[in-house]
A and B are shown apart, each in its own frame.
Chain A
């Protein structure tokens, strides 16, 4: 465990050094390290790198069950549909490769990022729809269905790569990051709970029979296949995007959810994904 924490620290220092040279802010790496140090102390014996498996990393029996499910992943067919859609040319003869480049494994890790021209955080799902509409195709829904399938395919291609969200040294980018951070720590809704209440201060604690996953590592495995979502779907389609989950979390604390791909959720994704900097992408993954 100490070896992994040391390697994460070293990687982070390396990242921050290169980041500083490239004119980027190191604000998110400092926050990510502080959160990872917090979990290191809170969860002795748990390797930080294993937190990409969420609550399953905290219990051997649950982890074994999770790995058994992952042997024949229930999302496989949906990801295959996403791959097919991604590789099917548009009516104008162009394809996703014209927007994202020839290597699909190099796409996922570029998101979320700050776009200085748009003065906004840009997400993968946003650019998938931009590519479609720029080529005269119909935009996809943001939260599930083909959007989650395509996003799931690109996540599969990026497995094993290191998460490294960069916040440029630009006051507007830093403000967006800080806005996402505030959203994460701000209590909201009738239950007066913040994202951090459940996934930092009570991350690893039980809520009835469920274990709350730590925030570190959460963004690594999206889009996610949730059994709860599959149960409510006629074709057992449980695949959903990160913003679908954000909306669900907000609803659970009885706060009015924001729209998927709203500025609020894009900024939250900017911060939230940063908190997993240094860990590996492993999406999509199964969750209860």
Chain B
């Protein structure tokens, strides 16, 4: 009986721990501070992709018009994901800003893996 109680206590502790980890590891709150972290993370990922010539068009290229974002004044802006993140943040919409920055980070990581994965590529004939 004592043995079972010990197991139950252990399981409860594990569940408690895992739920708190999940909470801590979940989506960061849409604040200015968290946005700046996400922006720095995105730039780091894109710098890494650029270092192997693997940057994608719409991640942060200034001439990109792929992402459309409407600010509170009703104006629609066309830019890259990182550009849209900065526009949204300046408009106080940190939730959208962080989402755009996360997409840019994802694209940076994918661009890096794409380029590195094919460094020895050649003709298939």
Task: From the candidates B50, B114, B123, name the one contacting A187 in the complex (CB within 8 A).
Answer: B114
Using known A-B contacts A188-B115, A190-B107, determine if residue A256 contacts B123 with beta carbons closer than 8 Å.
Answer: no
Determine whether B102 belongs to the interface, using a CB cutoff of 8 Å to chain A: no
A90 CB within 8 Å of chain B: no
Give Cα A37–Cα B50 distance, bound, in whole angstroms: 35
Q: For the complex, what is the distance from the CA of A194 to the CA of B122, rounded to whole Å?
A: 11
Asked if B56 and A256 sit within 8 Å, CB to CB, the answer is yes
Considering the complex, give the chain A residue whose CB is closest to the CB of B50: A256
B23 on interface, CB distance cutoff 8 Å: no
Contact A188 B114 (CB under 8 A): yes
Knowing A186-B115, A192-B114, say if A35 contacts B56 (CB, 8 Å). Answer: no
Given contacts A188-B114, A192-B114, contact A256 B124 (CB under 8 A): no
* Chain A residues with a Cβ closer than 8 Å to the other chain, count: 26
**Cβ proximity bits B57-68 to A, threshold 8 Å, 1 near / 0 not:** 111010000000
A98 → chain B, closest Cβ, in Å?
A: 37
CB pair B125 A255 closer than 8 Å:
no
**Size category, B interface:** 20 to 34
Bound complex: CA of A23 vs CA of B57, how far in Å? 41
Contact partners of B58 in chain A: CB under 8 A: 190, 254
Q: Is A181 interfacial (CB 8 A cutoff)?
A: yes
Taking the complex as formed, is B55 at the interface, i.e. its CB lies under 8 A from any CB of chain A? yes
Q: Mark A160-197, 1 if CB is under 8 A from B, else 0.
A: 00000000000000000000011101111110101010
The distance from the CB of A42 to the nearest CB of chain B, in whole angstroms, is 9
Scan residues 185-214 of chain A and give those whose CB is less than 8 A from a CB of chain B.
Answer: 185-190, 192, 194, 196, 200-201
B119 to chain A, nearest CB (A): 8
A94 on the B face (CB < 8 A) = no
Say yes or no for A43: interface residue by CB 8 A criterion: no
Partner of A185, one of B61, B110, B114, B123: B123
Interface 0/1 of A10-49, CB less than 8 Å to B:
0000000000000000000001001100100000000000
In chain B, residues 87-125, which have Cβ atoms closer than 8 Å to a Cβ of chain A?
107, 110, 114-115, 118-119, 121-125
B56, A254: Cβ atoms closer than 8 Å: yes
Is the Cβ of A264 less than 8 Å from the Cβ of B53? Answer: yes
CB of B83 closer than 8 Å to a CB of A:
no
Asked whether A188 lies within 8 Å of B123 as measured between CB atoms, the reply is no
Q: CB of A251 within 8 A of chain B?
A: yes
Contact in complex: B125, A256 (CB < 8 Å): no
Contact A182 B115 (CB under 8 A): no
B121 and A182 contact, CB distance less than 8 A: yes
Closest chain B residue to A39 by CB distance? B125
Are B125 and A34 in contact (CB-based, < 8 A)? yes
B residues in contact with A258, CB < 8 Å: 53
Q: In the complex the two chains form, is B59's CB within 8 Å of A256's CB?
A: yes
Q: Which residue of A lies closest to B118 (CB)?
A: A186
Q: What's the minimum C-beta distance from A277 to chain B, rounded to whole angstroms? A: 16
Instruction: Supply 10 further A-B pairs (C-beta < 8 A) apart from A187-B118, A188-B115.
Output: A31-B123, A38-B123, A186-B121, A187-B114, A188-B53, A189-B56, A190-B58, A200-B123, A250-B57, A255-B56
Could you write out 26 A-B pairs with CB less than 8 Å apart? A31-B123, A34-B123, A35-B123, A38-B123, A181-B122, A182-B121, A182-B122, A183-B53, A185-B118, A185-B121, A185-B122, A186-B118, A186-B119, A187-B114, A187-B118, A189-B57, A201-B124, A251-B57, A254-B56, A254-B57, A254-B58, A255-B55, A255-B56, A255-B57, A256-B56, A256-B61
